Structure 1
Amino acid sequence: MHAAKGLRPRRGRRLAASGLAALLLAATVLTSGAVGQDPSPSPTPPPSQAVPKPPTDQPPPLLTRADVDRAVARLDGVVQDMMKQTGVPGVAVGVVHQDRVLYLKGFGKRHVDEPPAVDPDTVFQLASLSKPIGSTVVAGAVADKDADGRGAAWDEPVTRHLPGFALKDPWVSGHVTVTDLMSHRSGLPDHAGDLLEDLGYDQAYILGRLRDEPLAPFRASYAYTNFGFTAGAEAVARAEGVSWQKLAEDTLFRPAGMDSTSTTFADYEKAANKAVTHVPGPDGTWQAKYVRDADAQAPAGGVSSTAADMMRWLRLQLAGGRLDGRQLIDAASLRHTHLPEIVSQPPTAPAGRTGFYGLGWNVNYDNQARLRLSHSGAFELGANTNVTMLPGEQLGIVVLTNGKPVGLADAVAQDFFDTAQYGKPTRDWLALFAALYTEMDDAGVSPTDYADPPAAAKAARPDGVYTGTYGNAYYGDATVTTGPDGLVLELGPEPKRFPLRHYDGDTFSFETAGENAVGRTGVTFSFGEGSTAARTLRVEYLDETGLGTFTRR
Structure 2
Amino acid sequence: MLLLLASTLSASRPARAEDPLARDVNGLTFDQFIQKTLDDYGVPGAVVVVVSDKGTEFLKGYGVRRRGETALVDGDTRFQIASMSKFIAATAVGALVDRGVVSWDAPVTTFSPDTVLAEPYATQNVTLRDFFAHRTGLPAYTDDLLPQLEFSFDELLHRARFQPFDHSFRSRWAYSNYGIFLGQYSAARAAGMSPPQVLSSTMLEPLGMTRSGPVQAELFKDDNRATAHNIDGTVMPYENVDKFSGAGAIVSTGHDIARWMTMLLAQGTFEGKPVLSKDTVTEIFAASMVQGPGGPLNDPNDSAGLGCESYHFLRWRVIEKNGALNGMRTIVTLVPERDIGIAIFANKQMTVFPEAVRAEFLERVLAPSGRDLQKQIHEEQKGWFALLDVPKPPPDAKPLSRDLDAFAGPFVSPLYGSLTVVRNGESLAVKVGAHDYPGQLTHWSADSFLITFENPDVPPGLLTFAFKEGNPRATGFDGSRVPNVYTTSYGHFDRAQ
The one-letter code of the counterpart of 1:375 is K
Identity among equivalent positions (%) equals 27
| 1:339-418 equivalences in 2 (<5 Å) | 339-345=286-292, 353-368=300-315, 370-379=316-325, 381-418=326-363
* 1:388 CA drift (Å): 0.9
Q: TM-score, length-normalised on structure 1?
A: 0.78
Give yes or no for contact 1:418–1:425 (8 Å, CA) kept in 2.
no
Pair 71,276 (structure 1): closer, same or farther in 2 beyond 3 Å: farther
List aligned pairs for 1:10-49, cutoff 5 A: none
Report what 1:52 is aligned to: none
Tell me, yes or no, if the aligned pair for 1:67 and 1:423 is still in contact at 8 Å: no
- Matched position secondary structure for 1:122: coil
Q: Distance in 1 between matches of 2:356 and 2:471?
A: 57
Counterpart code for 2:119: D
Shift of 1:552: 1.8
Residue number among 121, 125, 136 corresponding to 2:91 in the alignment: 136
Structure 2 CA distance for partners of 1:198 and 1:440, relative to 1, 3 Å: farther
1:411 aligned partner, one-letter code: A
Q: 1:238 to 1:278 in 2, by over 3 A?
A: same
Q: 1:530 aligns with which of 470, 481, 484?
A: 470
Residue segments in structure 1 that go unaligned for 5+ positions in a row? 1-63, 146-150
Q: Are the equivalent residues in 1 in contact too, given 2:438–2:453 (CA < 8 A)?
A: no
| Cα pair 2:230 2:327 within 8 Å, conserved | yes
| Shift of residue 69, structure 1, vs aligned partner | 4.4
Structure 2 counterparts to residues 80-159 of structure 1, below 5 A: 80-145=35-100, 151-159=101-109
Higher relative contact order (CA 8 A, sep 6+): 1
Task: Identify which of 59, 65, 70 aligns with 2:23.
Answer: 70
CA shift for structure 1 position 441: 4.2
Secondary structure of the residue that 2:454 maps to in structure 1? Answer: coil
Asked if the contact 1:107–1:117 (Cα under 8 Å) also holds between the matched residues in 2, the reply is yes
Deviation at residue 438 of structure 1 after TM alignment: 2.8
Change in CA separation of 1:107 and 1:500 when aligned onto 2, cut-off 3 Å = same
Q: What secondary structure, in the 3-state scheme, does the structure 2 residue paired with 1:397 have?
A: strand
Of 379, 395, 405, which aligns to 1:435? 379
Q: Which protein has the bigger strand share?
A: 2
Secondary structure at 2:246 match in 1: helix
Q: Does 1:248 align with 2:199?
A: yes
- C-alpha separation between the residues in 2 aligned to 1:400 and 1:239? 33
Deviation of 1:129 after TM superposition, in Å, equals: 0.8
Task: Work out the CA distance in 2 between the residues paired with 1:413 and 1:353.
Answer: 19
Please tell me whether the aligned partners of residues 142 and 488 of structure 2 are also in contact (alpha carbons under 8 angstroms). no
- Cα 1:200/1:310, change in 2 over 3 Å: same
Using the alignment, how far apart are the partners of 1:486 and 1:67 within structure 2?
59
How far residue 377 of structure 1 moved from its aligned partner, in angstroms, is 0.8
Shift of 1:310: 1.0
Deviation at 1:178, TM superposition (A): 1.0
Local SS of the residue matching 1:70: coil
Measured at CA, do residues 425 and 288 of structure 1 come closer, stay the same or move farther in structure 2, by a change above 3 Å?
A: farther
The match for 1:278 is 229
Any residues of structure 2 matched to 1:500-539 within 5 Å, and which? 500-501=441-442, 506-509=447-450, 511-518=452-459, 522-539=462-479
Query: What letter is aligned with 2:306?
Result: L
Q: Distance in 2 between matches of 1:321 and 1:393?
A: 16
User: Cα–Cα, structure 1 residues 71 and 490, in superposed 2: closer, same or farther, change >3 Å?
Assistant: farther
Letter of the aligned partner of 2:207 in structure 1?
A
Residue-pair matches, total: 472
Secondary structure at the aligned position of 1:359 is classed as coil
Q: 1:490 and 1:247 mapped to 2: Cα distance?
A: 33
TM-score, normalised relative to structure 2 = 0.86
Alpha-carbon shift at residue 256 of structure 1 (Å): 1.4
SS at match of 1:478: strand
Kindly provide the CA deviation profile for residues 420-454 of structure 1, in whole angstroms up to 9, marking residues without a partner as x: 2336984242x43343343244359676438x996
What does the per-residue CA deviation read over 1:208-259, in whole Å, with 9 as the maximum and x for residues that have no partner? 2222321523233211111211221222222221223322222222221111
In structure 2, do the counterparts of structure 1 residues 106 and 301 end up closer, same or farther at CA, with 3 Å as the change threshold?
same
| 2:125 is aligned with 1:175 | yes
